[in-house]
Amino acid sequence: MAFTPSYIGLYRSGELARRASELEAMLESCTVCPHDCGNNRRKDELARCATGYLPVVSSYTAHFGEEPLLVGTRGTGNIFFGNCNLRCVYCQNHLISQNHREERLRVVSFERLAEIMLELQERGCHEIGFVSPSHVVPQIVRALVLAAGQGLRLPLIYNTNAYDSVEVLRLLDGVIDIYLPDLKYGDEDLAYAYSKVRRYPEVARAAIREMHRQVGSALLTGEDGLVQRGLIIRHLVLPNDLAGSRESLRWVREELGPTVTLSIMAQYFPAHRAAETPLLDRTIRQSEYERVLETMERLGLEEGWVQDPTSQEYYRPEFSDRETPFAGGPRNHDEELRST
């Protein structure tokens, strides 16, 4: 039997449109993400995310660089939203996340965003992936109402830095099929130093708890072996243990249990301003990465993937090419990841 995403039922009952309206109301004194800026984005008042009422779509493409059980043979249909609510000095996507004046030229209507979802479905992509969605959730859901009415039937991925509002995530219950959050830091001060965000561990952990409440630990897969519903927590290992890997992995084990799916990433390279930032100005060492893997083993975390340490050579996006920003990388993680 073909998988039917839960948002289809919400659309048919009118609940999806009701949630879109509730989310849009949050834009009037913006509380869409935990920064709680309070600006009226319905009137295009800009604050932290430099995004007004309409969303910025920097790029969209069939992407083959996600986890193997997502990309399959036809890729994930990723929609990269411009701007971000973090300011990571090492951001690999900085050309679209921290280039606000130029990205404002890429504003799209709700109708166009719905068309993009449908175009990616027509291309044969296995899912729709919303990349950096935290600041544009109301816009995504409003466009989803239109897309669902025109035949969108793919699972939806929420690919996020995890600096998300729990209140907003609750309104996505039954809308999002697959949560793909980062767990970036274990230390609040380091999060502020390198991403200019306060209370990151507290906020991200609360957000991931809510995602876990909605979809649980087990991955639901279809006959093709691809994920249809579930949670995959990503953790990017940073040099000099700046990510606090042990603290984050220990939290996952104690709070969510041993069967949560993890994706441990070794692809860090000193992008953006990292080459000028002490402690971040190099790739990670093999010994640093092995300590993280040893921690996983001690904690009994055995579900998911670990990335090959040479992967920093491949996953380097080039957003000067908006059509195929990942053209230089491998088609999927199969060569770079191994099952834990």
When pLDDT is averaged across residues 11-37 and rounded to a whole number, the result is 98
Q: Which residue has the tokens 């990309």?
A: 71
* Mean pLDDT value of segment 154-176: 98
- Does the residue 31 lie in any domain? no
| Structural domain harbouring 179 | 54-339
Q: Is 139 within a domain?
A: yes
Residue 27: pLDDT band (50, 70, 90) is: very high
Is the pLDDT at 96 greater than 90, yes or no? no
Give the pLDDT band of residue 69 (cuts 50, 70, 90): very high
How many domains does the chain fold into?
A: 1
In a domain, 241, yes or no: yes
Cβ neighbour number for residue 189 with a 10 Å cutoff: 10
Average pLDDT value over all residues in the chain: 92
CATH number of the structural domain spanning residue 142: 3.20.20.70
* The pLDDT of residue 95: 87
Return the structure tokens found at 328: 């230089």
pTM, rounded to two decimals: 0.93
- On the question of pLDDT at 20 being above 80, the answer is yes
206: which residues sit within 8 A by CB, 6+ positions away? Answer: 166
pLDDT above 60 (res 340): no
pLDDT attached to residue 308: 84
Task: Return the minimum-mean-pLDDT range out of 15-19, 56-60, 328-332.
Answer: 328-332
Q: What is the pLDDT of residues 286-321, one digit of tens each?
A: 999 999 999 999 999 999 999 987 766 556 666 556
